[in-house]
Amino acid sequence: MRKKFRILVVDDEFSIRVSLGDLLRHDGYQVEVAESAEAALETLKTQSFDLMMVDIKMPGMDGLEMLKQVKENEPNATVVMMTAYGSIDSAVEAMKLGATDYVVKPFDPVRMEALINQVYENDLMQRERQVLRRQVRVCGCYGPMIGQSPPMMKLFELVEDVAATDSVVLILGESGTGKEVLARTIHEKSARANGLFVGVNLGAFTESIQESELFGYEKGAFTGANTAKKGLFEVASGGTLFLDEVGSASQKMQIDLLRVLQERKFRRVGGLIEQEMDFRVMAASNRDLEESVKDGSFRQDLYYRLNVVQIHIPTLRERREDIPVLAKHFLEVMRVRLGKKISTISPEAMECLVNYDWPGNVRELENAIERALVVGKSKWIVPEDLPIVMKQSFGGSADESLDAWERDYISRKLEQYEWNISRTAETLKIDRGTLYAKIKKYGLTSGDGSK
């Protein structure tokens, strides 16, 4: 039950596809099989994998040729070659072409396990590094909850009521609507205001660090645990624990959370002393959790525990009347921070802002104002200072703005997935060839020069 790790097995021999597929499924991996290199490459157009296990000798295109093509498209792909006894030469050739390793069929179980674990752990480490980078980047706060529209007035009333209780709160809303800001606001108005507000993004968590991060651990609980460490449950003691992107919690994490919420007690990893749970839980999600319960990816029992009080934050386009006051607020804050003289927004620019649809909600608005202050050359913000997509609602050629919108969108997705072509293509729902073509067309390059 451990892994969201996807493996592609490519072998012309039926019995190998079946037995290797079964073996990996028993380990909890998600497995796809292909009976030829051609079929595998076809599959790779629409799906991406964390590991490919490819037979070297196959009729038609052989494993080495497939390896070459895979590596051309995706230099970071992890490919392990499989060979029969006596064809070690081609295995060596494969290593030169960039294969991660090779194994001789039938596998020695011990060697096989070590190999897969190593690949899996490398992948985890890479993801963890990405998580750290992402956390640093995302931590910007986007201001307190601001608005005078009817939906916001209702929301503020609810916040007052909820702050007076100690119930579990589930906050739903599109990304960028300010779920964490709302949680913080409730915390600060509650009786736990003197305790800490501990926010943790479960979407950015990988499984190996989850358990020890949340529960803490005793010295010697596992290799590398040289000292005892407090977990977030303890750090949040007396305060509030905010679980962001709770819909992305792994199955294991869901069980952990359910257990703590049910028993109201927890123990450090490797520890014997039970501690009382003394924190309020708030959770947030930008997905429809009820949908996730239906498709089985989210536990129903946990959903009931979290869904005691539900708060829905409206999108920015549902409260357009708040846009001017929000825009002015961000302008005030950022003008000081950036040391700029610009102090107003022109009526034309404001019209663009109010008419735009804001898929990224308040956070996107904040970014747009910041950008306008950085690039702006006149005494107030004019439409030219705004991203082209926003001017679309005001004027300009539709084609041009569509291109700009696409360029902007793709570039953001690429950044989000650290320029992992497969994953980005997957979320954009286009194949990797198309993505490469777009990158070329728009002249996109990775900002930090890595990869």
Partner 1 sequence: MTLVSDRVVKIVPLGLSDAGLMMALAGELERTFPFSYRIGTDEKMPVDALDGMRGQYHATRILEHLVASDRTAFRILGVTSFDIFTPILQYIFGEAMLGGRAALVSTYRLGTVPFEGVVPCRHAVFVDRVIKEGIHELGHTFGLTHCDDHHCVMTASLTVGDIDEKSTQMCYYCQMAFKDELARAGIAQS
Provide the binding-site residues for partner 1, judged by CB under 8 A. Answer: 1-2, 13, 15-16, 18-20, 22-23, 25-28, 105-110, 112-113, 251-252, 255, 259
* Angle CA 289–291–292, to nearest 5: 65
Contact 298, 248 (CB under 8 A): no
Q: How far apart are CA 165 and CA 237, in angstroms?
A: 17
Name which of residues 224 to 263 contact Zn ion (CB under 5 A): none
Query: In the complex with partner 1, which residue's Cβ is closer, 23 or 145?
Result: 23
In this complex, which beta carbon is closest to Zn ion, that of residue 137 or of residue 252?
Answer: 252
Please choose, out of 22-30, 189-197, 261-269, 440-448, the segment that lies near Zn ion by the rule CB under 5 A. Answer: 22-30
Give least dist CB 295 to partner 1, A: 14
- Could you tell which of partner 1, Zn ion, none binds residue 106, using a CB distance below 5 to 8 A set by kind? partner 1
Q: Which does 105 bind (CB under 5 to 8 A by kind): partner 1, Zn ion, none?
A: partner 1
Rounded to an integer, what distance in angstroms lies between the CA atom of residue 407 and that of residue 438? 8
With CB under 5 to 8 Å by kind, the binding choice for 19 among partner 1, Zn ion, none is partner 1
Least distance CB 433 / partner 1 (angstroms)? 32
Closest CA to 68 of 91, 99, 42: 99
CB under 5 to 8 A by kind: which of Zn ion, partner 1, none does 332 bind?
Answer: none
Compute the least distance from the CB of residue 213 to partner 1, in Å: 16
List all residues 6 or more positions away from 81 whose beta carbon is below 8 Å from its beta carbon: 53, 54, 55, 56, 63, 67, 91, 94, 99, 101, 102, 103
End-to-end CA distance of the chain: 32
Q: Which of 41, 199, 38, 5 is nearest to 116 (CA)?
A: 5
Which stretch in 26-34, 36-44, 197-205, 390-398 sits in contact with Zn ion by CB under 5 A?
26-34
Which CB sits closer to partner 1, 252 or 265? Answer: 252
Assigned token pair, 79: 């490919």
265 binds, among partner 1, Zn ion, none (CB under 5 to 8 A by kind): none
Residues in contact with 220: Cβ distance below 8 Å, sequence separation at least 6, in sequence order: 270
Interface contacts to Zn ion, rule CB under 5 A: 26
